[in-house]
Structure formats: C-alpha cells, structure tokens
A and B are shown apart, each in its own frame.
Chain A
C-alpha cells in the first residue's frame, strides 16, 4: 500500500492505495465520486475523463498513486455555488446528452479544450473530442454545445 495525498474538487484527501488501482476506481470506489464513468478497458471511450492539474486525462489510464500531490476536478466539482458551468449549461440548452453516460467525460474534455483555446471551429472541436465516444447523439448537438460554450462560430 502507498500513502497518497491529493486534492479532489478542492478538498484535501489522503488515502492508502494499492499500486495497481486506477485513478477512476479511486474516485468511484474509494471516494464515492461516481459521476466519473467507466465505458471501456482500452482507453478508447473517454467516459472517465477528468481534469488533472487542469488538463483533461482519461482516469482509467492514470494510476491512483500517480495523482499523488496533484489536483483533480471531476464532474461533481464543475458547477460552482449551484450554477452549472458554461459547458454544462450549453449541453442542456442544445440537448447534447441523451443517456448521459459519456456526458461527464465529454463535458470535462470540452472544458479542457475550450481552456486550451482549441475550440475555435467545428472542425477543431470535432478533432479535439476525438478521444471521447458518444453512441446516442451522433455528436451533432455536442459540437453545437461546445461551440456555443466557447463562443465559437461554426
């Protein structure tokens, strides 16, 4: 077991982890943050995307012990003071989610994409979300929502 200290959604957390534990299971099963979903076992679908020190990562591809000393934001930590983040709001306005399972990862990836200034066109948004799969929406409304949140013209 390894001692790990990390900040999750602004809260300091300390844990004893097995080295093999993936960050996504640390979040879901150790910390009870079940908003981050698991959709595959090949780092393909992006449902588990979270922010690690502000950048999007697939939390199934990060070991819990690698998050030692770092800051994590999950979907539960995105809304502030009860109001949705602009990306969450845009997903609602544009019906960019149906079953909702890919949504937490898709939203976190979009937040990161916009912050990196890489959501300036439809093409850029599509390229930037390539690592996140959605089976319900055909991406049409996701792209619209991300563009709206980014203030991009598509």
Chain B
C-alpha cells in the first residue's frame, strides 16, 4: 500500500459481531405483533375441530351480535373474493392431482384446524370471544391419517373430486439397478420412517394489513420469509395488481421454512382489509400454530443398498411415501424431491433408483421445514450404510471411506454435479477431535463391566444440495419461479452506502455479513454500510430466504453489484485524474495511477463526483449505484462429518446426547461467528428430531401433540455444548467461494444421533430403533432384541 492510501480493515472471514443485535437486545425489535395502527381491527379464525367433516351449516347470528364485532363471514360469504385458490408453485409432474384450496373451507373441513369462518372485532379479546359464538354444523367423516393407509384403495378421500389420495408419483432412474442387485455380494433393506415435525419458530405468525381505500394501495406487514413471493401470489389470489401491494417483512422471529408460504390468514387479512377499509391484524396463538402453520417430514422411506464383497456400494433403490397433508401449500409436493438426488449421499454409487409417491391425508399440510427432504435422505443413507457395515462386519468409518466420492467436480448418478468437497478430510478431522479409538475402548469397557449406562458412537458423513438455485434446473423440475437473486449497492454522496438485498433474513445476520462483503470490496468501514431488506417498496426484485440460498445467491449478487460500482467509479476516477481506466490499480476502495502512487482517488470521492456531476465523462449518468441479478450456474454443495456420542440407560431406555462433534465444509466463511451459530441451531433441530420431537395424530386425525407441553422442543438441559471445526474447500461456482450453511446441521445431525443410539445397543442385538428414540422406544427395542 502506498503512503496515500489507508490500510483498510478486512472483514470477510472475521468474527464481526452483529449489527442486528443492538435493537434486538434492548427490546427495540420491529416484529409484526408490535405494530398497532389507528382504526385497526382484529381477525380471529374459527377452525374445524374435526380432521374431516362435511360442513352442513354455519350460523353467524350470535357472533354478529356480539360486543365489538365489525364483521363475521363464513367460507361461502367470501367465495367471490378469491380469483384463485391458495397457490402451489411446484406441480411436480404433469399429471399431479391437486384439490381446490380456498382460504376458508366451504364444503368440507379437511384437517383439524381448517378455517371455516372469520370474525373481525375491535380488539384481540373481543374477536376471540365472538369466534366462540360461531355455530358450525359438522358431519364428521372417517379420516385418512396414516400416509400409507391413505394411499390404498378405499381410504377416505381428502378431495372427493380427485377419486384418489395419491397426488403424484415421481421417479428418477439411472444405471442398471436391477442388475447391480442381482450381482450383489450383500444387500441391505431398511424402513426409515421420518416422523412429522412441527417447526416452532418462537415468534408465531403475525399479519397487519393497511388499505388505502382512496387509492387502492395496500401495505401488508407479515412475519414471513418471502415478502416478494408473497406479494406476487397474494395479489393474484385476491385479484389486485401486484403494483398496488407492498409487503414488508420487518424483524421476523425465526422461520425454518414455516414462514415460506402463502397462508390463508395472509390473504384473508388482505381481502378483509380491502372490504372493510380498515387495518386488519391477526396474530397466531401458539396452540393455533400447531394446527395452522405447516408441518414437515412425515415420510416413509424404504431404502436398499447393493454392495460387492469389498463393501463397495453398487446401487441404491429407494421408495418414499410422503404425506402432503390436506392441501398442497406453496412447495408441498416438491419437498421430498429436494432429497431426490441425494440418496447416494457422499458416496460414489453408479446405479440409482428413486420413487416418491405424494399422498393427501387429513392432516395439517406439510411443506418446507429446515433441511426439507434432505434430513430424511441423510437419515436413510446414513442408517443404511451402518446397516451394511454391520452386515459386512466392516467398521462403519472404514465402509464410508471405501465409498466416498473422492474427485471433484463429480457428476453423480442422479445427474447433478458436485462442484467441490473433501469428505475424507472432514472425516479425518472429526475422528481426531472425537478420539474415536478412545471412545471405542470406553464403550467396550462399559459393556465388559456390565454398566447399565452404555455408550454409542454414530456418524453422519453427509453432503447436501442447497442454495436454490439455477433457474433453468428449477424450470426443468417444474418449479414455477426462478432461483436468482438481487443486490443493489447505492453509494450515497457523503460517504455511506445502502445495500439493498432481495433476500429476507429472519435471524441469519445478513445486515452484518452483507456489510462485511461490501465493506471489503468497496473499502468502506462496516458501520458505513446499511443493509436494507424485506420491503418490496425498495427492493422490487428478490426471491427471499429459504433453502440456504441467501449467501450463495444473494451474497454473490452483492459481489457482482459491487463490481459494477467499481467499474463505474473507475471511469469517473480516470476522467478526473485524466488517465485511461486501464492505468488505474484498484484495491479496497482506492484507485491509484500505476507508477504514480501519489495520484489516488477513492470510491467515496467518486461517489461525491457522481452526485455533483460537475465533471463526468460525456454521456455518463450521474449517481453511483448498481444493481446485479445473479442466477447461480449450480446448486451449493456443503458436506462434512458429524459424530454423536450418546449414553443409553439399558434399564429405562433413557438416552442422552453427551458429545457432538461437527466438521463442516461450508466453503469460505464470511463470518465464522454467524456460521457457527447456524450450525449450532441446525444441529439442535436434528437432535430434537432424533430424540424428542414427533408430531402425532390419533386415528381420527386429532393432533395429539398440539402445544409446547406435549410436543417436546428441547431446552438447554437436553443438549450439550457442541464441538465444531471446519474443513474448507471453496466453492468454484461463485467468486466468493461460499456455500449454503443454514440447513447443514439439521441435515446431518439426526442421522448421527440415530446411528449412535443403535450403536449403543448393538451388543444387545438391536439393529434398528425408530425415530424419535424416546425412552419407551429404546426400552422396547432392547426387550424385543432379548426375545
């Protein structure tokens, strides 16, 4: 650096503390439920207590007469308000069957919690009181609950007009699978049911809609992950111009996929606010959320491997039966297919057969929940490889090594190309950190000593595809939209920058990480950069936050927008310094004339010059601002090696996670502090699925785990501190070298824990335990193995 430039602090790769924290730590967050507007009324939804019932009548008389009530409507009253049903954006096959889905049911209630009427009143309490006065005459019907039973002939039909509960069958085949199984030295077959999970973002959903009856403009604040997609589809559902609707996602209290949807309540609040000409607010109660917010998983997986005598896996054959729930929400049918390419995991398996049958059931719709299809795939892949190791009497670590993909880029049998990775390196680091040999000794010592608290060690050497996604591939798999994202860099004349992103964070720290990226590229201090997000008024284009896409798509868009700013600034500086653009060297915000280190000008200087516009090149537009839209050429491919150590009490079945080691390759880390936080939280959700959480219905379709008392979200007591490390291969797909990280922990961890549970009991003859490994299930597995 020359004497006339100042050394710029580098931010990318460092543990910058978050810009978001100051407001959130002092109670100054902007969550939707904090919002109150003059003249605002409250919405309450009357929901079906039955999973499946004909609606023979709705009597609104008493509710309409109640104190403070502004309006009460049944489903039929609002039928003309909808120009389309609630949207499903992923018709996965040409002949996929889909029932009609209006925001309120009119003919039948199809799951417990299906909305049948709405009440609008002057306060939250009065709306709730009046909702209890709505009388609905239900004729209960038999319910289709179990996903496999629902697919059979004669099952109660969720949507009568379809004549079946099977929505679609989707296949992917490559290579000679039958031949590989015929020639196999060993085969394994397992049934790995992944239970239904309930996302439980700690902030319940909340919506405020403010209409302007004079202009027809409407602003909707929603606790959503997808303000842009919501604007597009909510406007279409009520038949208003998209240009008249502004959607704002302010601070959003977690999502994990559950706020990646266009919900009935959003379009109801929109339609009612336009009808009534007053702001309408709805905030979900937690117990209501258990019914009305999407669930995840609920997939039966029949998984088979064929292998040769050395343990080299030669083919995989997998068949899924996936519960859609009662309706197809935004991306419901596509969720199990996000795992469709991954049932060979990190292993080089030449022959591949995948089938998924999507089935309607009288349950809350399923949709994206953290990992979405990939935790299920990893569970089947990693449980089956342990089963194969057991059958071949090869150490599960050694069997993984023999099968790892070892050269990149690698086009896998399912057809996609993994850009980079080093699975052996992650595993080596994981084993070292774990002290695998020491643990094996301790495990044996406890067994030999007759200790009732036995030890189990389980691995998950996962990979995954995320960063949704190349638009062309999304088109080829029939997803309705693209997978690009946007960034705008706006250099203000007085030395600060606004970065506008099309991604929509809800805890991921984009305000900090995006500022780090822009600060380094443009030579600004991190506090000189403000990152704006989540408002369609100032970010007209964006595809929001889900599928671990924000950094590898939106973050890379920011890189491209920054390059455009640098190139325009170069022309301005060249003009002002009277040199050619090629004669300028650029580093961290400073242009220097080659060979004349005293002749310099900064981006900040150029942004003032661009604003003043007194001396710009001929024909150049004033202002220093650029937008880039980035469409990635490939998915993002994180991977790594996770290991869980559990202690199981063989007398009670009580199972505790005592250690967890995770070595992840998430590419270049913009902010390791934030990356670790993402992985911690991800691991916790996978561990929860393995040991505690299960959304359970009875045969009549009553949700038995319908609140935080009966659905066991783990507290700090149930989890250990996690031991993290990294093994990095930069992604060659993008100039930042980054990969997605939001879902890796959840994708990997459940399988590691389940493998550890089975390993703990293997000396007792236990070969499988179904999820979640509750004390009862573990105890029963031990008793059954004894017989």
- Report which of B507, B707, B708 forms a contact with A99, defined as CB distance below 8 A: B507
**Which A residues fall within an 8 A CB radius of B?**
20, 25, 28-29, 33-42, 44-45, 47, 74-76, 78-79, 84, 88, 91-93, 95, 97-104, 107, 122, 125-127, 129-144, 154
Q: Which residues of A contact B677 (CB under 8 A)?
A: 95, 98, 136-137, 141
Contact of A122 among B285, B713, B721 (CB under 8 A): B721
Find the residue from A20, A28, A29, A139 having the highest chain B CB count within 10 A: A139
B27 & A76 in contact (Cβ 8 Å cutoff):
yes
B748 to chain A, nearest CB (A): 13
By the criterion CB–CB under 8 Å, are B26 and A88 in contact? yes
User: Is the CB–CB distance between B252 and A140 below 8 Å?
Assistant: no
Contact yes or no, B203 A39, CB < 8 A: yes
Contact B708 A44 (CB under 8 A): yes
Tell me whether A99 and B252 are in contact (CB under 8 A): yes
Q: How many residues of B contact A (CB 8 A)?
A: 57
Which residues of chain A are near B286, meaning CB under 8 Å? 39-42, 44-45
- Chain A positions within 8 Å of B676 at CB level: 95, 141
**Given A133-B708, A134-B202, A138-B719, also A35-B287 (CB < 8 A):** no
| Besides A95-B18, A107-B25, A138-B722, 9 new A-B residue pairs in contact (Cβ under 8 A), listed by A number | A28-B33, A29-B36, A41-B286, A75-B27, A88-B26, A92-B17, A92-B18, A99-B507, A143-B721
Complex CA gap A33/B713 in Å reads 28
User: A38 CB to closest chain B CB, in angstroms?
Assistant: 7
Min Cβ gap B509→A in Å is 7
What A residues does B252 contact at CB under 8 A? 99
Flag if A84 contacts B713 (CB, 8 Å).
no
Give the complex CA separation of A74 and B27 in angstroms.
8
Q: Nearest chain A CB to B281's CB is how many angstroms away?
A: 11
CB-based nearest A residue for B686 = A138
Docked-complex contact B202 and A99, CB < 8 angstroms = yes
Q: Which residues of A contact B508 (CB under 8 A)?
A: 98
Interface string of B254-288 (1 = CB under 8 A from A): 10100000000000000000000000000001110
By a CB distance below 8 angstroms, the chain A residues around B673 are: 95
Indicate whether B787 reaches chain A with its CB closer than 8 angstroms.
Answer: no
B201 at the interface (CB under 8 A from A): yes
Task: Find chain B residues with CB under 8 A from A34 CB.
Answer: 27, 29, 31, 33-34
CA distance A11 to B31 in the complex (A): 25
Chain B: minimal CB distance from A70 (Å): 20
Contact B716 A130 (CB under 8 A): yes
Residues of the B chain whose Cβ atoms lie less than 8 Å from the Cβ of A154: 721
Sampled A-B contacts (30; CB under 8 Å): A37-B33, A40-B707, A41-B286, A44-B709, A74-B27, A75-B27, A76-B27, A78-B26, A91-B21, A91-B25, A92-B18, A95-B17, A95-B676, A95-B677, A98-B254, A98-B507, A99-B203, A99-B251, A100-B29, A101-B201, A102-B253, A103-B25, A126-B715, A133-B713, A137-B680, A137-B681, A138-B681, A138-B684, A140-B680, A140-B719
> Which residues of chain B come closer than 8 Å to A40, judged between CB atoms?
286-287, 707-708
From A79, A88, A130, give the contact of B715 (CB < 8 A). A130
**Contact among B287, B715, B719 with A41 in the assembled complex (CB-CB below 8 Å):** B287
Contact status A101-B31, CB under 8 Å: yes
Residue among B21, B203, B506 with max Cβ neighbours from chain A (10 Å): B21
Nearest Cβ on chain B to A76's Cβ, whole angstroms = 4
Residues of B within 8 A of A78 (CB): 26
What are the residues of chain A within 8 A of B254 when measuring CB–CB?
A: 98-99, 101, 135-136
The distance in angstroms between the C-alpha atoms of A96 and B677, with both chains bound, is: 8
Determine the chain A residues whose CB is within 8 A of the CB of B721 once the complex forms.
122, 140, 143-144, 154
Question: With the chains together, A112 CA to B24 CA distance in Å?
Answer: 19
Let me know if B202 and A101 touch, CB within 8 A.
Answer: yes
On chain A, the residues within 8 Å of B253 by CB distance are 37, 99-102
Task: Please measure, in the bound complex, the distance between the C-alpha atom of A141 and the C-alpha atom of B716, giving whole angstroms.
Answer: 11
Q: Give CA–CA (A29, B122) in the complex, Å.
A: 14
Question: With A41-B286, A45-B708, A127-B717 as given contacts, are A135 and B202 in contact (CB-CB < 8 Å)?
Answer: yes
Mark each residue of chain B from 730 to 750: 1 if its CB lies under 8 Å from any CB of chain A, else 0.
Answer: 000000000000000100000
Q: Is B594 an interface residue (CB 8 A)?
A: no
* Interfacial chain A residues near B24, Cβ < 8 Å: 97, 99-100, 103
What residues of B have a CB within 8 angstroms of the CB of A75 in the complex? 25-27
How many angstroms between the C-alpha atoms of A140 and B18 in the bound complex?
17
A76 CA to B677 CA, complexed, in Å = 25
Closest beta carbon of chain B to A145's beta carbon, Å: 11
Does residue B373 face the partner (Cβ distance < 8 Å to A)?
A: no
Among the listed A37, A126, A129, which residue makes an inter-chain contact with B31, where contact means beta carbons less than 8 Å apart?
Answer: A37
Q: Compute how far the CA of A42 lies from the CA of B34 in the bound complex, rounded to whole angstroms.
A: 21
Question: Contacts A100-B507, A133-B202; is A138 near B717 (CB within 8 Å)?
Answer: no
Whether B716 and A125, one on each chain, are in contact in the complex, defined by CB atoms closer than 8 angstroms, is yes
> Which residues between 697 and 715 of chain B lie within 8 Å of chain A, taking CB atoms?
707-709, 713, 715
Closest to A21 in B: B125
Q: Complex Cα distance A127/B715, Å?
A: 9
Do A104 and B717 touch (CB < 8 A)? Answer: no
- Residues of B near A144 (CB, < 8 A) are 721
Pair A41/B202 contact, Cβ less than 8 Å: no
